[in-house]
A and B are shown apart, each in its own frame.
Chain A
Amino acid sequence: MHERGILIRIWFIALLLLVSFCGLGAKLCYLHLSNHSKVTGREYKRTLLGLRGGIYDCNGKQYPMAVSLPARLFYLDPKSVKKEHDVGQIARTVSQHLGLPEAEVQAQFRRTDSRYIKLGYSLDDRVFEALSDPLTISGVGAEEMVIRRYPQGRRMSHVLGFVNNMGVGGAGIEQQYNRYLTGTPGLIEGEKDAGRREIFSRRKVYVPPIAGSDIYLTLDHRIQFEVERAIQEVVEKFDALSGWAIVQHVRTGKILAMASFPDFEPENYTETTLDVWRNNALAIVYEPGSIMKAVTVAAMLNERLATPTTEFEVGEGVWFYAGKPLRDHVYGRVTVSTALKKSSNIACAKMGLRLGAQRLENYLRAFNFGSKLGIELPGEENGILARAKDWDKLKPTRIPIGQGIAVTGLQMINAYSTLANDGRMMRPYLVDRIVSPSGETVFQARPEVIGRPVRPDVARAVREMLTGVTEEGGTGKRAAVPGFSIGGKTGTAQKAVPGGYSSTDYYASFVGFVPAGEPVFSVLVSVERPRPQHTGGFVSAPVFGKIAAATARYLALDPDLPSDEEDGLDAAQP
Chain B
Amino acid sequence: MRRNRKRQVYAKVLPRSVAGLIVLMVTLVLVYWVMDSKCAQLGQEIRKCEQKIQMLDAEYAREESRWSEKNTPEKLEEAMLQHGIAMSYPVADQVVRMDASGLPIEGQLSLARFKRSQSATERVVKTLPK
Contact = CB atoms under 8 A, between A and B. Distances in A.
Q: Interface size for chain B: under 10, 10 to 19, 20 to 34, or 35 or more residues?
A: 35 or more
B64 A225 contact: no
B22 A69 contact: no
A207 to B, nearest CB: 14
A151 interface: yes
Contacts of A197: 44, 47
A568 B126 contact: yes
A550 B89 CA distance: 8
Interface string A210-230: 000000000001100100000
B88 A567 contact: yes
A451 interface: no
Most buried by A among B46, B54, B73: B73
Contact of A151 (B57, B68, B88): B68
Interface majority SS on B: helix, strand, loop or mixed?
A: helix
B46 to A, nearest CB: 5
Nearest to B95: A556
Contact of A569 (B32, B39, B124): B124
A28 B72 CA distance: 61
Contact of B64 (A67, A125, A558): A67
Contact of A125 (B22, B55, B124): B55
B92 interface: yes
Given A25-B25, A63-B68, A222-B73, A558 B92 contact: yes
Contacts of A17: 22, 26
Contacts of A70: 54, 57-58, 61
Nearest to B74: A225
A320 interface: no
Given A123-B62, A556-B90, A568-B88, A10 B14 contact: yes
Interface stretch (A198-206, A298-306, A436-444): A198-206
Contacts, number: 124
B89 A3 contact: no
B123 A200 contact: no
Contacts of B65: 64, 67, 69, 149, 151
A3 B9 contact: yes
A514 to B, nearest CB: 13
A152 to B, nearest CB: 5
Given A553-B91, A556-B90, A3 B11 contact: yes
28 contacts: A14-B14, A17-B22, A21-B22, A22-B25, A25-B25, A64-B64, A69-B61, A70-B54, A123-B62, A197-B47, A198-B47, A199-B40, A199-B43, A200-B46, A201-B40, A203-B43, A483-B91, A550-B89, A553-B91, A557-B92, A567-B91, A568-B87, A568-B88, A569-B123, A571-B122, A571-B123, A572-B121, A572-B123
